[in-house]
Structure 1
Amino acid sequence: MEYINVFIINHYAIHPSEPGGSRHYSLAKELAKKGHRVTVVASNFQHGTGRYNADLGKGKFKEEMIDGIRFVWIAAPGYEGNTVRRFLNMLVFSLRTRFNKLLKDKRNKPDIIIGSSPHPFASLAAERLAAYHRVPFIMEVRDLWPQTLVDLGRISRFHPLIVFLSWLEKYLYRKASKIVVLLPGASEYIKNLGISEEKVIWIPNGIDRDLLPDISSIEQKKKRDLFTVMYAGAHGLANNLDVIINAAKVLQDEGLADKILFRLLGEGPEKKNLIMLAKELGLKNVIFEDPVPKKEVYAKLAEADVFIAVIKKSNLYRWGISLNKLFDYLAMAKPIVFGVRAFNDPVREAGAGISVPPEDPYALAEAVKELFRMDPKEREKMGVNGREYVLKNHDFTVLASRLEKVLFEVAGDNGLR
């Protein structure tokens, strides 16, 4: 088999013209360069921004070619926040994907179907579609459902929904020919469920060189003559951005509000609350900005002196992290303050910044202050370390080759080669 016809089903997949992580666009693009045929199936309603990214008119789906990749956009109802409507959005997308006439068309039968799990219902739709076509199913594990819900303290492990999701999780792992994980410690979690560790392959998030500016073109393009600390990403509960607001308060109280500026780019259910908190604290050193498309984000990131990555302290991250924003930060050759407790610490591994305890605004403020007072050459060295690390370990060109190897192995095991 010279090429593979692969369907990638990811509810939240996007094109770089939209804000957010574009993992499957980048992987699909690299696979297409190698001669493979790739279809990406996603919802027309974008989770990160709360808006529709494809005009379907009155239809239930839309097919289009983008950069050599076939996208199929599935209609799903909009929602705001973690409400019943979000659950409805998940179910509608999954059912419409499973029974979509384009995806069921035997004239364009896939060789392999990959089901990504920002939630398990989309993965189940992928598995059922693979069974319909009698082709192998590969499970991609982004979030560990239902462990994510339990570890974030939102629901008891004995709740009937968690019991059902636990059964569904094991069912999908057993049905999968291979399991691709984004978290470096997830193989141990899956092994503990009685699944062979040999089925598990780690392919983390990464960066797309085609979108990345050359390091020589990364310049300070500041709107203000201030030391700029930037966060770019989702504004949700798990992101724990109130710790950044409180760190800004610490520095303002120390008289540094006219020297250090915090810029938060992005969207999410907690953004309004964060804006209110900043106003209540009377902060003059924090500004909030709209999200920007992936293909434009690097121009914004170039305006920073330092980046911040924080998430809520939780046992969930004992299996690791693979934050899209972190790889973008590393690629921009600027130091990072990393407030995360997890299985892995890419910032420490790369020597690309300062790691601090999570949920500690005072430690965060001290790290920012240390970088502010640091010799610019030392900051530059940290930034270069980060860029070299991410290009070596997280280039989507390399990650796509790793995925291609998995596809050929699965094809061979199932008599397709």
Structure 2
Amino acid sequence: MTAEREGRDGMRIVYIHQYYCNPTMTGGIRSYEQARRLVARGHEVHVITTDITGGRRSLGWRRTDDDGIQVHWFSVPYSNHMSFAQRLRAFAEFMIVAAVKATVLKADLVFATSTPLTVAVPGVLAAKLRRVPFVFEVRDLWPEVPIEMGVLRNPVARWLAGALANLAYRSAEEVVALSPGMAAGVTARRPGTRTTVIPNAADLAMFEVAPEAVRGFRERHRWLGDRPLIVYTGALGRVNGVEYLVRAARRMAETDAEAQVLIVGHGKEWDETKRLAAEYGLLDRTVHMWEQVPKADLPVILGAATLSSSFVRPIRALWDNSANKFFDALAASRPIAVNYGGWQADLLTETGAGLVLDPYDADGAGVLLAAHLRDEVWLKQAREAAHRLAVERFSRDLLFAQFEAVLARSAAGRHRGLARAGQTIGEKQSGTA
């Protein structure tokens, strides 16, 4: 990719993402993968983000180089264990420091990705001051999701969140949405907004794991061996409701005592989920729980999985998610079980790449999971279907091409708009308008 960079006239892009991660960190790496590809295509990328690893507020910015990406870090404490009010404070704090940083960096285009929605403010300010295009990416619909979850109850807070969403959509040359439902939510709030759907992606090269590495993983963990394994990787927050998997595992164990479940992640409901597994007598027997691991460690875990999984609570707004774990499973050619409807469930039903479970019936889910974990014919077909989806529809390189096209289109659109404005001014001054 370095060779591609030579000889190109690239843009200087300011990329605002409050919770950016690289593969050595725990979390999604969409921004890292997009930014490093932009660099390889000849663009200069400056990421503005926050460092939450130290747990302390920063005294200033620090700068690192991530494969050519210039990353500007400012420490703002954040944790899934925080209350909603504490999270709002973290969002507001980053919004202020990011606005200062974004406005002093030279840019040809400003890109901001939510959540939180507050990242739109530094993006809009920097773009207006620099008179450059602004592109906004929607990863979750705010304020629609927190309102439907009952988290955002205050009428004033709802109005402010709605006004912030309107500002972001109105100011953007184009909006990138991570799912069709999110795109619909954007245009429902502000009709006419130019919106492109670019979901999360399957990192095929990252999830290519040698068979001996998978065998070694299974052999190192005596509780696993050659037993069937269901894996959940990701957040254990209020949105996810991972206790559903524990309840399903209890029923599954009655049918298949050897089937194993591995939960890898972190979040506010970690302790509650672990207590429930212990209460059922499943902890460290059927259900195993590991703390979060770096993204680079996930491929071998998914490589050892018989089935991956993704869960959310039964709230309609959450069906429009674009879960990283869903696309990681596809990249690893693993079937995935979900307990929600929407576009991802439709994909699984249409292609046979996984299972759609009843969100209100964890016992029934346990029976269904047990039946499929030993069905070698179904597993083979589901693995092949998952692989086809990863290659043909969701490969990182394929979706990056669409992403770069959005940025190029936005930059060209702004330049045409400025040229037309300049022409109109000139005509008026000459008296010909």
TM-score scaled to structure 2, two decimals?
A: 0.87
Cross-structure match for 2:59: 59
Over residues 6-65 of structure 1, what are the superposed CA-to-partner deviations in whole Å (9 max), with x where a residue is unaligned?
Answer: 1111111111101111000001111111111112211101xxxxx339x99x63211111
Q: Does structure 2 retain, via aligned residues, the 8 Å contact 1:27–1:399?
A: no
In 2, Cα distance between the equivalents of 1:150 and 1:85? 18
Could you tell me how far 1:2 is from its partner in structure 2?
2.4
In 1, Cα distance between the equivalents of 2:365 and 2:213? 25
Cross-structure match for 1:405: 405
Cross-structure match for 2:150: 153
Cross-structure match for 1:361: 362
Partner amino acid for 1:213?
E
Q: Does structure 2 retain, via aligned residues, the 8 Å contact 1:312–1:359?
A: no
Could you tell me how far 1:214 is from its partner in structure 2?
5.3
In 2, Cα distance between the equivalents of 1:138 and 1:200? 10
1:171 aligns with 2:167: yes
Could you tell me how far 1:195 is from its partner in structure 2?
2.6
Q: How many residues align?
A: 400
Could you tell me how far 1:323 is from its partner in structure 2?
0.6
Q: 3-state DSSP class of the match of 1:249? A: helix
Cross-structure match for 2:244: 243
Q: Does structure 2 retain, via aligned residues, the 8 Å contact 1:184–1:344?
A: no
Structure showing greater Rg: 2
Q: Does structure 2 retain, via aligned residues, the 8 Å contact 1:218–1:332?
A: no
Q: 2:188 aligns with which of 185, 189, 192?
A: 192
Q: 1:11 aligns with which of 1, 15, 18?
A: 18
Q: Does structure 1 retain, via aligned residues, the 8 Å contact 2:312–2:318?
A: no
Q: Does structure 2 retain, via aligned residues, the 8 Å contact 1:230–1:264?
A: yes
In 1, Cα distance between the equivalents of 2:152 and 2:190? 24
Identity of aligned residues (%): 23
In 1, Cα distance between the equivalents of 2:290 and 2:45? 35
Q: Does structure 1 retain, via aligned residues, the 8 Å contact 2:209–2:299?
A: no
Q: 3-state DSSP class of the match of 1:391? A: helix
1:347 aligns with 2:354: no
Could you tell me how far 1:342 is from its partner in structure 2?
2.0
Cross-structure match for 1:314: 315
Partner amino acid for 1:193?
R
Q: 3-state DSSP class of the match of 1:233? A: strand
Partner amino acid for 1:35?
G
Q: Does structure 2 retain, via aligned residues, the 8 Å contact 1:116–1:139?
A: yes
Q: CA RMSD in A?
A: 2.2
Could you tell me how far 1:369 is from its partner in structure 2?
1.1
Cross-structure match for 1:115: 112
Distance 1:208 1:347, change over 3 A: same
Cross-structure match for 2:51: 44
In 1, Cα distance between the equivalents of 2:263 and 2:360? 17
Structure 2 unpaired stretches of 5+:
1-7, 420-433
Could you tell me how far 1:244 is from its partner in structure 2?
0.6
Q: Does structure 1 retain, via aligned residues, the 8 Å contact 2:99–2:122?
A: yes
Could you tell me how far 1:186 is from its partner in structure 2?
2.3
Cross-structure match for 2:234: 233
Q: Does structure 1 retain, via aligned residues, the 8 Å contact 2:209–2:300?
A: no
Cross-structure match for 2:72: 72
Over residues 244-281 of structure 1, what are the superposed CA-to-partner deviations in whole Å (9 max), with x where a residue is unaligned?
Answer: 111111123x2533x11111001111001111111122
In 2, Cα distance between the equivalents of 1:194 and 1:353? 35
In 1, Cα distance between the equivalents of 2:404 and 2:140? 22
In 2, Cα distance between the equivalents of 1:219 and 1:390? 20
Q: 3-state DSSP class of the match of 2:166? A: helix
Distance 1:377 1:203, change over 3 A: same
Partner amino acid for 2:415?
G
- Of Structure 1 and Structure 2, which has the larger fraction of its residues in helix? 2
Structure 1 unpaired stretches of 5+:
46-50
Q: 3-state DSSP class of the match of 2:118? A: helix
In 1, Cα distance between the equivalents of 2:22 and 2:414? 31
Q: Does structure 1 retain, via aligned residues, the 8 Å contact 2:204–2:390?
A: no
Cross-structure match for 2:298: 297
